[in-house]
Structure 1
């Protein structure tokens, strides 16, 4: 009998499959992605103890009679939590830098912006990136005296002389454009600017911006990194001690820390990251091929398609392509009919989870056409997902 995983997918990406779609299986440290994800941040084995210790919920900890604990010890739960430190060690291993965990991705981006920028500084933000970052800049950064400029992910970028921070988001959410991180980092550093990269969509298995010259990485761990749609999380990573110290001080002062159980859940979820991304990317490739071949679907984007505008940069820069596909069904009504008729696609915001979801971004005030859809492919069987989308589109 043929099992469900042995069926031939109904569609596959047209043309040659880029190496970046699945990525190399071996990382610079010699271990493959799956091995790294399973072992990242785990403490040394101890007989009778679990592989990943349960969450430490304490707020205060016992102090020594003569004073506070030594550096790195636990004193108070806001700046010090052993469960959170294990998670930070794990994400840091994957990103290739030191990591700080935050209560959400927005908290991590906010920490990067407010720990670096001062009145009179200039920041360049992605014009087509996550709209809440632009909203925060318009409402808060400008009020603090920071000059805010915007540039599309694919450019053109303004003159960077006098810029304090260049924030990139690649692939951009939700349009999926990709920029050359290494090239922009060289240009920014020559002008004296710092570079931060929002790595939410790619994850550290898709690309490691610090290896490409970025000074900071920020991301939402709510999405594909943890992938179970059951927690909120953000993180910041860097190799620069001064940037790490400034962000840590901002986090402690603002209290933007994740809870111990969220940190434990996130670390637990990292073990399957490689497996989840592999299926999500394969599903996205099949879905993108299906949609790009239909005359009733417009503006299909997936950086792994050879004909996609982002393909040349993505194939050279990324180790794997994420499971997100965007397209336009022409109207809000048709999107609603499509979602109503689909049996496998849930209408939901956020992305990167186990279940395939679709979000009509214009309903949130995002600057997208009314029929624009961001589809996040889950881990369903590829043939089932393609068949479901085909039926939903043909009856819609």
Structure 2
């Protein structure tokens, strides 16, 4: 379990999570371990690193840091968030299982469940943030996402975990939008955390990665075996890049969350904005739950503009905004979600706040909205 005192702030925690213990004669930060042949020893039972797909020291350093931040005993890194979540589902569901997936969350997860698991005899139930509690009453595995991407609705994890535990169901929580800096699902009772590290933890928009974290040894052993056999691994250089990025995640994410709160407050009541969704706003339906289970309200703000043209005009008139479908990077970005098939209006936009100076960002939005 976590050893860093909770009195430490996010920047201290992320810096320590990315930094190995000091050893004389060793560099302050390790470099990437190439995927190459390892020298073998005569003591075959004592070898740890023999092949890059099985283990390497760069993975272990990153995984130890992520486990620390998630409050987990162990973490496993994968080549992407989808690689991580599909590994979890393949391990936990069986023919005859009932699996609940978010109807309002990341659409690729629903596609994987419908196209790859349902044909194997898994009953897939799609439930939104409000329906998930009823659906969990008859599930073997529940996958929850909170805050939900892109609507930013909030699921009460303590309530859901009690329900799942009471009937022996496994609860997986997608922590991508919140990050472990804002929310620790294991502390709320979840069995397993999954997240895309492509987003805020890496923060530089230059790599793909994902991870799983838990404190159940037998579960993590099964997931490690799945990763080994499927080869859904994170490359050594991307691992090193993510480890490098992790050290500054507390600073970046703190600014991103502050920018998100300021922007959501500014846009509330703006004549060009029909609605604003952000868990940090007191009138958000999930605000009280977010206050109970989140340390920050996140770096995403979703808004409803008049139509698709209004979203495109916002980006075109801005000096700071970029159009991008990923999120969590250092630049503030806008994504019109209806283009991907999300069940939202044509003018629905998810805004991922970057690290720009808050006053500059608010002024830029004011000019761009007119």
TM-score by length of 2: 0.96
Q: Is the 8 A contact 1:154 1:178 kept in 2?
A: no
Counterpart of 1:82 (choices 41, 52, 57) is 57
RMSD, aligned CA? 1.5
1:379 CA drift (Å): 0.4
Structure 1 residues 94 and 343: CA distance shift in structure 2, 3 A: same
Residues of 2 paired with 1:387 and 1:195: CA distance?
42
Residues of 2 paired with 1:285 and 1:30: CA distance?
24
Higher normalized helix content (fraction of residues): 2
Q: Is the 8 A contact 1:63 1:69 kept in 2?
A: no
Q: Deviations over 1:276-327 (max 9, x none)?
A: 1111111111111111121221121010011111211101110111110001
Residues of 2 paired with 1:116 and 1:327: CA distance?
36
Aligned length: 367
Q: Which residue of 2 aligns with 1:229?
A: 205
Q: Which residue of 2 aligns with 1:343?
A: 319
1:81 CA drift (Å): 1.1
1:28 CA drift (Å): 4.7
Q: Which residue of 2 aligns with 1:16?
A: none
1:29 CA drift (Å): 4.3
Question: Which runs of structure 2 are paired with 1:124-135 in the superposition (5 Å)?
Answer: 124-135=100-111
Q: Deviations over 1:129-185 (max 9, x none)?
A: 101101111111101111001211133532534421111100010100011101110
Q: Deviations over 1:68-127 (max 9, x none)?
A: 543xx1011001111111100000100011100000001111011001111110111111
Residues of 1 paired with 2:104 and 2:87: CA distance?
21
- Alignment of 1:245 with 2:224, yes or no, is no
Q: Is the 8 A contact 1:162 1:192 kept in 2?
A: no
Structure 1 residues 348 and 43: CA distance shift in structure 2, 3 A: same
Q: Which residue of 2 aligns with 1:274?
A: 250
Structure 1 residues 160 and 154: CA distance shift in structure 2, 3 A: closer
Counterpart of 2:232 (choices 256, 264, 274) is 256
Residues of 2 paired with 1:121 and 1:242: CA distance?
20
Counterpart of 2:29 (choices 49, 52, 76) is 52
Question: Which runs of structure 2 are paired with 1:317-396 in the superposition (5 Å)?
Answer: 317-394=293-370
Residues of 1 paired with 2:198 and 2:46: CA distance?
32
Residues of 2 paired with 1:58 and 1:376: CA distance?
34
Question: Which runs of structure 2 are paired with 1:5-16 in the superposition (5 Å)?
Answer: none
SS in structure 2 opposite 1:197? Answer: strand
Counterpart of 1:283 (choices 237, 243, 259) is 259
TM-score by length of 1: 0.90
Q: Is the 8 A contact 2:100 2:132 kept in 1?
A: no
Q: Is the 8 A contact 1:68 1:75 kept in 2?
A: no
Structure 1 unaligned segments of length 5 or more: list them: 1-26
- Alignment of 1:43 with 2:52, yes or no, is no
Residues of 1 paired with 2:363 and 2:148: CA distance?
28
Q: Is the 8 A contact 2:173 2:190 kept in 1?
A: yes
Q: Deviations over 1:215-239 (max 9, x none)?
A: 0000000001111111100000011
Q: Deviations over 1:230-259 (max 9, x none)?
A: 110000001111110111111111100000
Counterpart of 1:117 (choices 93, 99, 107) is 93
Question: Which runs of structure 2 are paired with 1:72-221 in the superposition (5 Å)?
Answer: 73-97=48-72, 98-155=74-131, 157-221=133-197
Deviates more, 1:199-208 or 1:41-50: 41-50
Q: Is the 8 A contact 1:102 1:251 kept in 2?
A: yes
